[in-house]
Amino acid sequence: MEYLLDTVTLVRYLTKSRNITAKVKIIFEKAEQNECKFFISTISFMEILYLSEKKRIPINLDEVVEKIKESTIYSVAALSTEIISTAQQVDFYELHDRMILATAKYLDLPLISPDRRFKEIGDIEIIWR
């Protein structure tokens, strides 16, 4: 199985936050056993840069990139004109989130995210609880 990770999910996992549901922990355990794979939108790296510069997360971009490179469970979903075009179909107010939602929609992947507002986007499967 393949999943797209929302930025907050990735940050919580990499920083070993306790704010991850049991369901999501099981998915990460499966990934660590090579039973599934995660995609990360390039827009998440930009969001991590922004959030770390604002001191809103306890990890910086270089640390995230290093952890991603060290692991085999992640692939980067590059931002493309197709994904940007798909964003026209996603009605969401915040740019980073809209692009992540568009990436999930374009790649037809479930999105792992705690953001309850994402449920309003009906044709994207959101996994958290």
Walk me through the domains of the chain, giving residue ranges and CATH numbers. 2-127 (3.40.50.1010)
pTM to 2 decimal places: 0.95
| Predicted confidence (pLDDT) at residue 122 exceeds the cutoff of 90 | no
What pLDDT does 99 receive? 97
What percentage of the chain reaches a pLDDT higher than 90? 94
What pLDDT does 8 receive? 96
Average pLDDT over residues 103-125: 94
What are the tens digits of pLDDT across the range 30-85?
A: 999 999 999 999 999 999 999 999 999 999 999 999 999 999 999 999 999 999 99
**How many C-beta atoms surround the C-beta of residue 4 within 10 A?**
27
CB 4 within 8 A of CB 115: no
Identify the burial level of 116 via C-beta atoms within 10 angstroms of its C-beta, where 0-12 means exposed, 13-18 middle and 19 or more buried. exposed
